[in-house]
Amino acid sequence: MPTNVIEAQTRTPGGKNVNRRLRNSGIIPAVLYGPGKEPIAISVDPQIVQDILHSESGHNSIFTIDVDGSAQNNSMVKDYQLDPVQGELIHVDFIQIAMDRRLQLDVNIELVGEPRGVKIGGGIMDFVTRSIEVECLPADIPESIKVDVSNLDINDYIRVNNIEVDPKVKVLSDPEVVVVTIIPPVKEEEPVVEEEAAAEAEEPEVIKKGKPSEEGEEEEKKS
């Protein structure tokens, strides 16, 4: 059930200048979509949305949007945009959902435990796939999917089809996709002495003969 409320106000859609003035006032433009309904242009407080996105459920959180005093229940974040330079939230798309209709969405994977191959064997854990796609009712959306990696040795791995999920949740991702694996430790290579340097060290010094000086030539002529 919804645990957060977002207060929103309707707005008149405008161009970049209108949206810039809106952001300068401390709010951001957003759009609320609903099945069989026309999209509603609204404005919201970006901090409230940020709090939802950084909660345990993240972008899969379910909440209420109150538009001009009229509650639009059971909504989720559909998409959002960040400023490419400052990383601030600049636009959000919301979507209304029906609690009796299954959703398809991505859920983050949470690794639990310390792999035996890392703790004892000195291996390196490679977290390959950090989220998987699932299908379930809104009330059954997991905050995360926990994967126990404690028993993994070096060269062991866990695929999507090895993950245990609630029977109410259907996994849609490719079952053969690797989620996490333990790779062998990297061996340090011993320094190799360059052959050229060794050859130079063993080569005897050679005294080069220079061209006879002109004074030496003149003395030979006189004699």
Q: Walk me through the domains of the chain, giving residue ranges and CATH numbers.
A: 5-97 (2.40.240.10), 104-183 (2.170.120.20)
Please say if the pLDDT value at position 222 is more than 60.
no
**The pLDDT value given to residue 202:** 57
Rounded distance between C-alpha atoms, residue 72 and residue 25, angstroms: 24
Judging by DSSP bridges, how do beta strands 89-96 and 70-82 pair with one another? antiparallel
Residue with structure tokens 């996490």? Answer: 180
Q: Which residue has the higher pLDDT, 189 or 132?
A: 132
With bands split at pLDDT 50, 70 and 90, how would you rate the model's confidence at 1? very low
**The pLDDT value given to residue 89:** 95
Segment 92-121 shows an average pLDDT of 95
Rounded distance between C-alpha atoms, residue 51 and residue 31, angstroms: 18
For residue 3, how many other CB atoms are within 10 A of its CB? 11
Please say if the pLDDT value at position 123 is more than 70.
yes
Segment 71-97 shows an average pLDDT of 91
DSSP 214: H
Q: Which residue has the higher pLDDT, 212 or 62?
A: 62
Rounded distance between C-alpha atoms, residue 54 and residue 61, angstroms: 10
Q: What is the pLDDT of residues 126-136, one digit of tens each?
A: 999 999 999 99
Q: Which residue has the higher pLDDT, 35 or 78?
A: 78
What's the mean per-residue pLDDT of the chain?
A: 86
Please say if the pLDDT value at position 44 is more than 80.
yes
CB–CB of 30/93 below 8 Å?
Answer: yes
Kind and range of the H or E run holding 32 = strand 28-33
Q: Which residue has the higher pLDDT, 207 or 101?
A: 101
Phi, psi of 110 (to 5 degrees): -115, 115
Q: For residues 57-79, b (16+ Cβ closer than 10 Å) or e, as one string?
A: bebbbbbbbebeeeebebbbbee
Residue with structure tokens 């050229």? Answer: 196
Please say if the pLDDT value at position 63 is more than 60.
yes
Segment 173-180 shows an average pLDDT of 98
Segment 165-189 shows an average pLDDT of 93
Q: What is the pTM of this model?
A: 0.73
With bands split at pLDDT 50, 70 and 90, how would you rate the model's confidence at 205? low
Tokens matching residue 1:
């059930």
With bands split at pLDDT 50, 70 and 90, how would you rate the model's confidence at 223? very low
